[in-house]
Chains A and B, each alone.
Chain A
Amino acid sequence: KAGVTQTPRYLIKTRGQQVTLSCSPISGHRSVSWYQQTPGQGLQFLFEYFSETQRNKGNFPGRFSGRQFSNSRSEMNVSTLELGDSALYLCASSFPSGGPGANVLTFGAGSRLTVL
């Protein structure tokens, strides 16, 4: 079956702009999580969506937002971009069993954002 698909793979923006990233989870997976990965900070949790509702949120400013659609596809948006937002943004989906298996995340290849 198809894996987690993220688009776009690469993008360059300038400070002050906004960006929208898209994620299509594995078919049947209803939970989608977003992470920011930078060399200095590693993988930092942004938020998790399940059945179109934000279920968990990390410690990021309000400029970072997301949503999930009825088909489980998810988008994240970053407004008023800053240089420090340059990172690899990873989306991961999981099967919502509610038990330990719920946390076996399958990651997409990521969207690499460069802010100039």
Chain B
Amino acid sequence: GQNIDQPTEMTATEGAIVQINCTYQTSGFNGLFWYQQHAGEAPTFLSYNVLDGLEEKGRFSSFLSRSKGYSYLLLKELQMKDSASYLCAAPDSWGKLQFGAGTQVVVTP
């Protein structure tokens, strides 16, 4: 089965850094995804990690530790437009992409 946990909400100020943690338990491992979803919009792909370590993409970075079943998404130099829900997701052994409940990030001025 699949169990993906992430915090419900995080608040941070513009220009700050926020780290969204995700822990997962999977029957097989085929990578870890992060998606961003603005209110009323479709989720959009942010990052994919299949090997341990940090993947950096501009202001966003994603980290994976397979031995610990742990990932985080790091958002640097926060902007108001980063206010959104961030979804951690992992494929199960059948290839179905299972999502966590999402972390609502609120960026304040």
Which residues of A are in contact with B by a Cβ distance under 8 Å? Answer: 4, 33, 35, 41-43, 45, 48, 55-56, 58, 90, 100, 102-110
Residue pair A102, B31 in contact (C-beta under 8 Å): no
Q: A42-B99, A43-B87, A45-B97 are in contact. Are A103 and B31 (CB under 8 A)?
A: yes
Which residues of B are in contact with A by a Cβ distance under 8 Å? Answer: 30-31, 33, 41-45, 48, 50, 87, 89, 91, 94-102
Residue pair B97, A103 in contact (C-beta under 8 Å): yes
**Shortest beta-carbon contacts, A-B, top 6:** A107-B42, A42-B101, A43-B99, A56-B96, A100-B31, A107-B43
Residue pair B102, A42 in contact (C-beta under 8 Å): yes
Please, which residues of chain B bring their CB within 8 A of the CB of A35? Answer: 99
Residue among A33, A41, A42 with most chain B CB within 10 A: A42
Residue pair A100, B30 in contact (C-beta under 8 Å): yes
Interchain CB contact (< 8 A) of B42 among A100, A103, A110: A110
The CA-CA distance from A58 to B94 in the complex, in Å, is 11
6 new A-B contacts at CB < 8 Å, known A42-B99, A45-B96: A33-B96, A42-B101, A42-B102, A43-B87, A102-B95, A103-B91
Please, which residues of chain B bring their CB within 8 A of the CB of A4? Answer: 42
Please, which residues of chain A bring their CB within 8 A of the CB of B100? Answer: 42
The CA-CA distance from A103 to B94 in the complex, in Å, is 12
Residue pair B97, A109 in contact (C-beta under 8 Å): no
Residue among A48, A55, A100 with most chain B CB within 10 A: A100
Please, which residues of chain B bring their CB within 8 A of the CB of A55? Answer: 95
The CA-CA distance from A90 to B33 in the complex, in Å, is 17
Please, which residues of chain B bring their CB within 8 A of the CB of A90? Answer: 42-43
Interchain CB contact (< 8 A) of B95 among A43, A56, A104, A110: A56
Please, which residues of chain B bring their CB within 8 A of the CB of A48? Answer: 95-96
